[in-house]
A and B are shown apart, each in its own frame.
Chain A
Amino acid sequence: MSAARQIPSLARRGFLQATGGLVVSFALFGTSEAASSLLPIGHVQNPPDAAKLYAWLAVHPDNTATLYTGKVEVGTGAQTALAQIAAEELDFPVDRLDVVMGTTSQTVNQGPTYGSMTIRYAGPQIRAAAAAGRAALLEQAATHFATTADNINAKDGVFSVKNAAQKTITYGALVAGKQLDVTIGATGAGFAMKVAPQAKLKDPKNYTVVGRFVPRKDIPAKVTGAFTYVQDVKVPGMLHGRVVRPYGVNATLISVDESAVKSIPGFVQLVRRDNFLGVVCTSEWSAIKAAEALGAVLHPKGPAAYPAKWSDWNGLPAMDDIWNVVRAGAGKTTAVANTGSVDNAMGDAKRTLKATYQTPFQMHGSIGPSCAVADVSKDRAIFWSGTQMPHEDRHDIAKLLGMQPDQLEIRWFEASGAYGRNGLDHAVADAAIMSQAVGKPVRVQWMRWDEHGWEPKGPPIAQDLAAAIDDKGKVTAWTHHMWIPTFLDTTLVAAALIGHPNRVGSVGLGVPAITYAYDFDNADVTSHGDGRVALRTSWLRSPAQYETTFAMEAFIDEVAAATGEDPLAFRLNHLKDPRAIDVLQAAAKQYGWQPRAALGKAPADGKPAHGRGIAWANRDDSRVATIVDVIVDPASGRIRVTRVVVAQDCGLVINPDGIRNQVEGNVIQSISRTLHEEVMFDRANVTSRDWIGYPILRFDEVPDSIEVVIVNNDPKYPSYGAGEPSTCPTAAVISNAVFDATGARLRQLPFRPDRLKAALTQS
């Protein structure tokens, strides 16, 4: 295991060693083109007043408009969908509506961007603000034409007087560059904020923009290189920082020999505060070399073999023991379902089934490691960040720096997709500390090993399930106990490393992430939530529910197989939720499902075997059912998912292609998590430090097809989330298909070839 600490195939290292540190660079920017791309630093401002129309909308003289939202784009297309919602209510062309997101001086705090909650909660806020905006502009147009508002038409950004074809004015000309200083009202905060409560909303029957394909606003710039990610931000006078993290998770920094880096051309300063160590240089390359010289790559020679010497801390549990540690947590027990008497039913049963499911630490695995730019001076601090929670970070980072939130501004730029809280917030804290120390703007770019090693992980989860079957083959009892460490940890790595006296953020307890909807007479579904276990954790796409759905829906399949029933029919027979039934039936219809019990026979002659699986989930009111075909090769132990059918009901659809894109992404990412992903660690720290140590799915394993069926897209339902739900069923559906193909039950993620081969010998 510890061998994984070594970063393999470091081609770059060869060049480093060959050339040494012989040269100096002072030139930050070689051309005027680069210099002109510097972003201005400017001043700090507080967020606007949510009760004012200008906090949400601006209309410009050229008849373009801007929507302001505290939500951010994380690659899911929410920016475009929110623009559709606003354009619809405003009767304004969506392609002329720009969206400014996240920046704390320009937007209202609508809560963090996570949990597939942007369209669901921010959508209605923006819808109401835009409707109030339209009403206010309509009044203005009525005054302009000396008539009444009900005598004015609004269409595509133009007001016209009814039955007077020549009397028209664009929104832009009407507003004439003025700020929309209209009070629309707002109460509450974040997700629960109510905006413009008096606004009259459009009847969904008349929607022309919502529910239609609108091309994503961000894609053209992303495919031509014109897009500015947070990783691309440069500000005047900016220096480059790199972090040097502890060798072991809680190791202490014994000493740093600065002479090891002083001679590196471009070296500016070491930043040491307790166990926080960073290096600041004039160029990226200098900073990379300096951090490496200090041992940032965690070379295999051990904690004290490099100029930054760490204590030999080995306090992590052994990897094999992690689920015992998880179970031993003294956390909070929550009853998800508790009906009848499970004990009596188990006692009376003719047969009982029991199974244990185990899932490991997994990581977000952003392709672009976290990055932030900070400019901290004595009385104010400005940050350029890709965080999913800029407004919350403003408060946390203020606390870190001992400043007030109104002295801080976070300017949001999109980052590489994070799928939860990765290292982005932590990079802000790192940049804050380094900029504060050197008194200049500092850009901190985490290296690959920093991101793999120190991004907060999705937690390991242990689950025990049991079922009782009576002499008529009826399932009489169901138990499901899950041990879930926290995934709500918002504490900052840097705050811990500098030994910050006040807690910054909170750790929380694991919460039950499951919707139990079966109708067994006796049921006990219980969650044991715990605090941090071993490694820092955070939200990772469908937090804990990907794991709990794996156990629940795979064990349902085990029970269906034990009773000899078709796995679809078994589910339908035990569900009353009409929307669950809708997605299961829609997926089955698209797939062409023929009723039969799972075969579950060992493949003859060790030849590749085909199987099918089905599973479903209710993730925060969205329903999703997935069916897959797999080919299992007993010789190699490899599983390939060949066909995927997903039926999803997330209520009223804003942009159908956005939903499809999200479902395809969830499916592929969760196939990757299911087949490949497990964070490796030794007693000191994470050892999965690159893409070889933490492999993810590549093109050779992409399914032949992913078919997406959208169900219950109807205004009678609100819009629920689409960014996560289709991750939930994937591990279960693959496990079920592997059983159908081979008779082997896979109950531990990931389904690596060695695990499949072991399971085949047991089946």
Chain B
Amino acid sequence: MTQTMVINVNGQDQTIEAEPDSMLLYALRDNLGLHGPKFGCGLSQCGACTIIMNGVALHSCVTPLAAAQGQKITTLEGLSENGKPNPLQQAFIDEQAAQCGYCINGMIMTAQALIERKPHASRDDIKAALQGNLCRCGTHMRILRAVERVTTPQAQQGAGQ
């Protein structure tokens, strides 16, 4: 039978009926309708499913739902307030740092966790943090610039010039 589980997502306790051996990604997407985290590989190889749990960026496709009970989970949707993008999301808009955008959840969530840990992260820090996140469109340069808008705002550059 399904099991009733409570997970705390974006500041709210959510009661979920699901298989306890299932992965957090499917609970977020299918039970809670949170489509920020994406299914990319199910193998912890691409980062499209990244969420933040207790301040740490994690791949939700290999995080058992049972292990997420009682933890504080943030998804891409949880970064913005009343639909207003947070500073990092706004930086991605300002740099036009997306093409298809399917990987961007993972880029933003991984970078957000880095920024919370290290607000003035260097370019090398950012690259190292994002090393596990794949982007097939080749938006890497813009993603780096977008994160740097937050970590080193004095070095800002704009798109469209």
Contact = CB atoms under 8 A, between A and B. Distances in A.
A7 interface: yes
A30 B31 contact: yes
A686 B158 CA distance: 43
B114 interface: no
B131 interface: yes
A126 interface: no
Interface string B96-132: 1111111111001000000000000000001110111
Interface of A: 7, 9-12, 15-16, 18-20, 22-31, 33-37, 74-77, 213, 215-216, 218-220, 222-229, 231-232, 234, 265-266, 283-286, 288, 364-369, 414-417, 419, 445, 447-448, 656-657, 661-662, 664-669, 672, 690-692, 696-700, 702-703, 706
A218 B62 CA distance: 29
25 contacts: A10-B43, A20-B21, A25-B19, A27-B17, A30-B32, A213-B159, A218-B98, A219-B93, A224-B76, A224-B89, A225-B34, A232-B29, A234-B33, A367-B135, A657-B160, A664-B139, A665-B137, A665-B138, A690-B45, A697-B138, A699-B126, A699-B130, A699-B140, A699-B144, A706-B141
A416 B134 contact: no
Q: How many of chain B's residues touch chain A, expressed as a range?
A: 35 or more
A19 B20 contact: yes
Given A228-B35, A419-B136, A699-B130, A28 B46 contact: no
Contacts of A283: 18-19, 22, 26, 30
B44 A24 contact: no
Interface string B42-60: 1111101000000000000
A209 to B, nearest CB: 13
A30 B136 contact: no
B75 interface: yes
B3 A23 contact: yes
A28 B15 CA distance: 13
Contact of B19 (A23, A218, A232): A23
Given A31-B31, A225-B77, 11 more contacts: A23-B2, A25-B18, A25-B19, A30-B16, A218-B98, A286-B19, A367-B135, A369-B41, A416-B136, A691-B134, A699-B127
Nearest to B80: A224
Given A74-B100, A224-B85, A29 B160 contact: no
Nearest to B146: A223
Given A229-B35, A668-B140, A9 B1 contact: no
A284 B26 contact: yes
Contacts of B3: 23
Contacts of A690: 41, 43, 45
Contacts of A77: 99
Contact of A696 (B92, B134, B160): B134
Contacts of A18: 21
A367 B33 contact: no
A656 B75 CA distance: 33
Contacts of B30: 28-29, 34, 234, 283-284
A699 B61 CA distance: 22
A490 B45 CA distance: 30
B18 A448 contact: no
Given A29-B33, A30-B18, A231-B39, A692 B99 contact: no
